[in-house]
Amino acid sequence: MTFNVDYFWESIRYGIKYIPFTLQFSVIVFVLSVLFGLIIATIRFYKVPVLSQFFSGFITLYLGVPLILAINIYYVLYATYYNDIAGILGTGKTIRDANFTSVAYFTLILSYSCMISETFRGAYRTIDKTQFEAGYAIGLTKLGTLRRIIFPQVVPAVLPSMVNWLVGTIKGTSFVSIIGLYEVMNGALIPCINTYSYVEGYVAAALIYWGIVVIIEQVGKLVEKRSARFRRQTV
């Protein structure tokens, strides 16, 4: 087996075309996962009745399901019941009109929300209880204490982890290729359909992902340095 440089550059060219979709998809998944993860972590930290127990059990069970298995399950369910639901809603659409992008968003957001919530919950535990008591002592509500005292300490603590989660989200977009969505990896493999040589396509996709991740990690390091400098100035 030989490595064809011409095929490789063709795969690079096609893969680059799908970088905008990959980044847009990743950012939306990451932002919503951080938001939902923070809400879930806060509910569990404050032990909100019923919801706390529900999320505790659900996350324990759900984190045991591989992402690739979850996306396949939701894909099959979506495809199986799409016509029935469309008929009930009276939209007149069939499975041919289905947009499987929503399946990808749902799967990744649900999975990453569960994982990121554990990061936030761990960060909450690093905050000394006296910080909460100090907020209550000066008349702040629980929400006010979180917003003005706790969050400013939690955010710098989880920042390195958030950079890693963003990187993981970008790499996780490759899973959506199994349900027919075109991101960097599927894009890089388009020329391989004609050449029947997939090594060049996979290598091209790996290099594109690597380039994106390197840039994000460097930006993350700059943000961490600035946040560390800000914390030193405020001490």
**What DSSP letter does each residue of 123-145 carry, written as one string?**
HHHHS-HHHHHHHHHTT--HHHH
- Residue 233 confidence (pLDDT) above 50: no
User: Is residue 28 assigned to a domain?
Assistant: yes
Q: Is 47 strand, coil or helix?
A: coil
pTM for the model stands at: 0.85
Question: What would the mean pLDDT of 27-53 be, rounded to a whole number?
Answer: 92
Asked if the structure places residue 12 within a domain, the reply is no
Q: DSSP secondary structure string, 55-123?
A: HHHHHHHHTTS-HHHHHHHHHHHHHHHHHHHHHHHT----GGG--THHHHHHHHHHHHHHHHHHHHHHH
- Asked if the structure places residue 224 within a domain, the reply is no
Q: Is residue 35 part of a domain?
A: yes
- Cα(183)–Cα(188) distance, rounded to whole angstroms? 8
Burial of residue 122 (CB within 10 Å: 0-12, 13-18, 19+) is middle
The rounded percent of the chain whose pLDDT value lies above 90 is 40
Query: Are the beta carbons of 51 and 195 closer than 8 angstroms?
Result: no
Res 1 pLDDT > 70: no
Asked, for residue 207, whether it belongs to a domain, the answer is: no
What is the domain range of residue 142? 19-181
In a domain, 217, yes or no: no
Give pLDDT, residue 96.
66
Q: Report the C-alpha dihedral over residues 36, 40, 41, 42, rounded to 10 degrees.
A: 100
CA 121 – CA 125 distance, rounded (Å): 7
Q: Which amino acid is at 21?
A: F
* Among 58, 211, 204, 34, CA closest to 123: 34
> What is the number of structural domains in the chain?
1
The pLDDT of residue 210 is: 93
Question: What CATH number has the domain bearing residue 51?
Answer: 1.10.3720.10
> For the segment 118-131, what is each residue's pLDDT rounded down to a tens digit?
999 888 888 777 77
Q: pLDDT value at position 20?
A: 93
State the Cα–Cα distance between residues 53 and 30, nearest whole angstrom.
25
Cα separation of 77 and 86, whole Å?
Answer: 14
* Amino acid at residue number 180: G
Is residue 72 domain-resident? yes
Q: Residue 31: inside a domain, yes or no?
A: yes
Q: What is the pLDDT of residues 174-232, one digit of tens each?
A: 888 888 888 999 999 999 888 888 899 999 999 999 999 999 888 888 877 776 554 54
